[in-house]
Amino acid sequence: MQHPVLAANWKMNHGPTEAREFMRRYLTLSPRRNDRTVMFFPSDLAFSAAAEACRDRSDLLLGVQNIHWEDKGAFTGESSAAMARDAGARVVLVGHSERRHVFGETDAMQAKKCAAATRAGLTPVLCVGELLPQREAGQAEAVVLEQLTLGLAELSTASVASMLIAYEPVWAIGTGKTATPADASAMHAVIRTHLRGLLGEKALAVPILYGGSVSKGTAASLLAAEHVDGLLVGGASLDAEGWSSIVAT
């Protein structure tokens, strides 16, 4: 089994000053480890401060929370994949539920963003997940499979083989309701089977992260679940002590 991936999604929290202070504390609490991959997704405005603060820790990967699919142009307020790469990002979140449900982004946009990311040398983390009414109506698998099929539509199989997927049931994000390890494992197995159809045995090497109200208390049992290769954490990644203890899980 590959190394677990622990990814901190700071969302619209931590400006440059807080990002610097977070990193200063995190680096003293969490020494370099070769048996896990740790990622941070600061806001664009805090990205450089975070990157500078951990420049001596090549084991930590920095990413951005969103990109536009065009390389440049008249898109006020947006940043391109090439710009993110130039700033030092290695990974990018694509299709986070808040992008889909707060900002109305479609699956077709996620497909273009995944393609733009790989063109620029950024690794996409495609986020998928169903709403509560969809789960209650027994449509969760169908929703996730459609998001995967459409979101990956513009990628070569080689690109899919080197990216990451995050399963984040929307009803679990920021609500304090975590999927049980068994529920997470069941959906991850569905995602793995879909990837196997595209990639064959190489699908085993695509990390599938779980996200949605992960806490210090739930991280270990989720990580122990079959097909859960890592965690994408919002609220519980915001304080350096708490996040260090999740990374140490």
Q: Report the interface residues with ligand PGA, using CB under 6 A.
A: 9, 168, 173-174, 211-214, 232-236
Minimum Å gap between C-beta 246 and ligand PGA is: 10
Which C-beta is closer to ligand PGA: that of 111 or that of 173?
173
Which C-beta is closer to ligand PGA: that of 95 or that of 212?
212
Burial of 235 (0-12, 13-18, 19+ CB in 10 A): middle
Minimum Å gap between C-beta 114 and ligand PGA is: 17
Which C-beta is closer to ligand PGA: that of 173 or that of 208?
173
Minimum Å gap between C-beta 56 and ligand PGA is: 27
Q: Taking CB positions, which residue lies at the least distance from ligand PGA? A: 234
- Which of the residues are catalytic? 96, 168
Which C-beta is closer to ligand PGA: that of 23 or that of 236?
236
**Chain centroid to CA 150:** 18
Q: What are all long-range contacts of 70-74, with beta carbons under 8 Å and residues at least 24 apart?
A: 70/116, 71/116, 71/119, 71/120
Number of alpha carbons in the 13 Å side-chain half-sphere of residue 89: 32
For residues 247 and 38, what is the distance between their CA atoms, to the nearest angstrom?
A: 7
Minimum Å gap between C-beta 102 and ligand PGA is: 11
Minimum Å gap between C-beta 97 and ligand PGA is: 6
Which C-beta is closer to ligand PGA: that of 82 or that of 135?
135
Burial of 23 (0-12, 13-18, 19+ CB in 10 A): buried
For residues 190 and 173, what is the distance between their CA atoms, to the nearest angstrom?
A: 20
For residues 192 and 227, what is the distance between their CA atoms, to the nearest angstrom?
A: 8
Q: Does residue 66 contact residue 99 with C-beta atoms inside 8 Å?
A: yes
